[in-house]
Chain A
Amino acid sequence: MITTRNLTKRFSNGVVALQDFSLHIDKGEFVFLVGPSGAGKSSFINLVIRKELPTSGLLKVGNMDVALLKKNEIPYFRRNIGVIFQDFKLLPNKTVYENISFALEVIEADTREIKIRVNYVLDLVGLTHKRNEFPSELSGGEQQRVSLARAIVNRPHLLLADEPTGNLDPETSWGIMELLKEINKRGTTVVMATHNKDIVDRLRRRVVAIENGRIIRDELKGGYSLED
């Protein structure tokens, strides 16, 4: 699903976010990216969704070389990827339903199709009863579930989660993890950047540890740190 070879990202101010980053993630995998803040986890995600361009090296998503995407191809490329953010990025003046349907409106899906799919994901994240409320009326966990629903509503092949539990208490975090596991079980590749040690240690999935922009460990069924 994602292949990188010697991927390097250097910002114009000289900061190196990723260096010599070589990684292969298969279709259907569940991968944790771990490491301290500023290690390069978010930069990696920004490269995958083509928010940033690599400085050098190869980055392939599916069978697309991301660096070769034309400007007008980027929107269509992104329709295959769902993204969740630590700060949810919900639109405050849209209801729960609208926040989710929005992702389908912008890709000009059918009205009927939109209704069916939004109702389906609302049910999946357990928020059908809050469909007409605004984000400010929801708890943090509920907001993250809306953001998750929006990310998966157009059935992406790849789901990227950037610290999705960063703002949530442990119990709510587990609710989100259950959903991510469920989505992964249905065939979506999930890549999650986190520094939630507890979650990584208990789930025992593939762990890619990053430090100073380099991969320092890549372990199947790994823990957050080497000792675990």
Chain B
Amino acid sequence: MKIRTVRYFSREAVRGIFRNKLMSLAAVGTITMALLIFGGLYLVTSNLQYWGQRARNQLEVRAFLTKNAPDRQVMEERLSSIPGVKSVKFISKEEGARILGEMFGQTDLFSHGENPLPDSFNIYPVRGADVEAIAVKIERISGVEEVVYGRNFVRFLNLFVRLIWIVGLILISLTVFAVLYIVINTIQLTVYARRNEIEIMKLVGATDSFVRWPFLLEGIYLGITGALVSILLLFQGYTILYGKAKSFARILPVLSSFEVTMDLIVFLLIMGIFFGALGSILSVRRYLKV
């Protein structure tokens, strides 16, 4: 392919867009709408996931020691050597009493009698997902009386995080097909309006790929435009929502728009190009049979 021809293709693609303004606008609009749906789904999914993961990473295991357990140093070593453990924190029975007292609003909870609380450790896992496995191992260590962690909560969280992934993925892939169908139909209209052009090109001896290229480029340009518009709208909308959500952020953590930026931009651009290009190729194909 000559460089001149490449220039011709890009020029034709740009001309094609501007000489069929209404059709181009329709195509960009459709792609934008489609990508807004994707972007929205993506934002919701990644925020839910983020929420789940954060909750999971705040998990801890509490191990209560027996009365005749080895001293603190030995126990700390035993607990720390379990794979997947990030850190351990010793809580003496005196401290335990203080914490418990605070909870009940009394400072001298056991000051009149013997403190019945055992010494304990808080164990923090590297990955929240490993809490259960770590807890099982701690139970087997001698000197440990009882292990406490939110068993059901952990199971729920693990399921929740996985479910969001699966549901998000299913929703996105279902929408891909629906959206592709709509986008192809729209682009097909733009190509239909120019079927004469294709026919004449074929009759004067243009090869199929020569006919296809300008349409392909045009589709890509339209796809990129649609992606940029949807990116702009999504970030504007998300920034506004983020501002509103920040006031509850302590209960419900939200990803800041910077944290989702790059991934989402790349994702939407790729989707836009994909829709535009595929839509064009499939639409032109029908009219190439001259």
A interface residues, Cβ below 8 angstroms from B:
49, 51, 72, 75-79, 83, 89, 91, 93, 102-103, 105-108, 111, 150, 154
Contacts and interface: CB of A to CB of B under 8 A. Distances in A.
Interface string B9-26: 000000000011000000
A51 B200 contact: no
Contact of B196 (A91, A108, A154): A91
B197 interface: yes
Contacts of A49: 203
B251 interface: no
Contacts of B205: 75-79, 103, 106-107, 154
Contacts of B20: 93
What 10 A-B pairs have minimum CB-CB distances, sorted nearest first? A106-B206, A79-B205, A78-B205, A103-B204, A93-B19, A75-B207, A75-B205, A106-B201, A107-B205, A91-B197
Contact of B8 (A51, A78, A91, A105): A105
B4 interface: yes
Given A51-B290, A106-B210, A111-B4, A89 B199 contact: yes
Contact of B202 (A75, A102, A105, A150): A75
Contacts, number: 50
B206 A83 contact: no
A150 B207 CA distance: 18
Contacts of B199: 89
B5 interface: yes
B244 interface: no
Given A89-B196, A91-B197, A93-B19, A108 B203 contact: no
A102 B204 CA distance: 9
B56 to A, nearest CB: 58
B112 interface: no
Given A91-B200, A108-B4, 14 more contacts: A51-B290, A75-B205, A78-B202, A78-B205, A93-B19, A93-B20, A103-B204, A103-B205, A105-B8, A106-B204, A106-B205, A106-B206, A107-B204, A107-B206
Contacts of B250: none
Given A51-B290, A93-B19, A108-B5, A150 B196 contact: no
Interface residues of B, number: 21
A79 B207 CA distance: 11
B219 to A, nearest CB: 18
A88 B2 CA distance: 30
B24 to A, nearest CB: 13
Nearest to B20: A93
Nearest to A83: B203
Interface in B206-225: 206-208, 210-211
A92 to B, nearest CB: 9
Contacts of B203: 49, 51, 78, 83
A57 B20 CA distance: 44
Contact of B2 (A72, A83, A102, A108): A108
Contacts of A103: 204-205
A77 B204 CA distance: 10
Interface in B244-262: none
A93 B190 CA distance: 14
B254 to A, nearest CB: 49
A177 B203 CA distance: 22
